Structure 1
Amino acid sequence: MWTKPKTDWKAGDFFNVQDYNRIKGNLNAIREAALMLWQAFPFEEMGKDKSYEDYGFYADEINCFEANIDHICAAVFPFAVGERQTFYENQPFIGWGELNRIEEACRLIYSNVQSRITGRKRLAFTLNGGEF
């Protein structure tokens, strides 16, 4: 389900479970919408939603976000969404600038896909009366 992305990240903001689940959910919503118009495309599984009982966030989980944005752009339209970053274990975690880039990319792609879905031309009647 699509949730309005947070595109005003700033230094000092904390990345929490709701943020993770929102980004993951938005990427899944974009994929579902895109599959209505485009052929199936590669998409990395991001697992189930996190809760506060989960230990934390791992580099490979954030890298899935990055990869899925690339997969969607390759399949739908080559949107200008900025430079992909790769994260590694025991290295600095994702920063506010990269979170803004990811969430803004989701917003851009989703709005474009939705406008294409709503802009499809449809006939106001059924050809041949529906009988074959």
Structure 2
Amino acid sequence: MLINPKTNWTSNDFYNFGDLNKVEVNIQIVANYLESIGYSIPLEEVVTNRDMFDIDFISSINRVERNLDSIKSNMITPPSYEEMKVWTNKMGFDFNDANRYEKNLLLLHKWAQLIYESYKYCGEFICGEEVI
């Protein structure tokens, strides 16, 4: 189960190291769930130990984007999934991006569950002549 997804970020909210840690934990949760049902989800490093002294650079944010995209690309793209961004200097991360991360993770998790529920399981079926 995903950890406390928040999809209602506003311009008045503060996004901090714990929020990005949670996003990366949730990325790992979704990838692990898909792998448990037979999907191969190649992820780059997942960082979940940031603290208030860490500084994330563009390369780190792009890695998070690529990990989300890897999950999406290795399963089914859910409707209303918002595509990844490639971050460059002077692009600003804001509440819309925070909402995009969380909504995409919710969608990916929901669709992974739908995939699992759609599997048809059957046991051994034996038919033929009975010996009397």
User: Quick check: 1:76 aligned with 2:78?
Assistant: no
2:24 and 2:64 in contact (8 A); partners too: yes
TM-score (norm. length: structure 1): 0.80
Partner of 2:108: 109
In structure 1, distance between residues paired with 2:48 and 2:5: 19
In structure 2, distance between residues paired with 1:61 and 1:36: 27
2:25 and 2:48 in contact (8 A); partners too: no
Shift of 1:25: 0.4
1:5 and 1:107 in contact (8 A); partners too: yes
Partner of 1:41: 41
In structure 1, distance between residues paired with 2:39 and 2:118: 18
In structure 2, distance between residues paired with 1:117 and 1:40: 14
In structure 1, distance between residues paired with 2:113 and 2:4: 14
In structure 2, distance between residues paired with 1:83 and 1:47: 21
In structure 1, distance between residues paired with 2:15 and 2:74: 29
1:112 partner amino acid:
W
Shift of 1:127: 7.0
2:22 and 2:48 in contact (8 A); partners too: no
SS in 1 for 2:15: coil
1:60 and 1:88 in contact (8 A); partners too: no
In structure 2, distance between residues paired with 1:127 and 1:61: 51
Shift of 1:47: 2.8
Greater CA radius of gyration, 1 or 2? Answer: 2
2:30 and 2:108 in contact (8 A); partners too: yes
2:37 and 2:116 in contact (8 A); partners too: yes
Unaligned runs of 5+ in 2: 127-132
Percent identical pairs in the alignment equals: 22
Partner of 1:59: 58
Shift of 1:122: 2.6
Shift of 1:21: 1.1
Partner of 1:25: 25
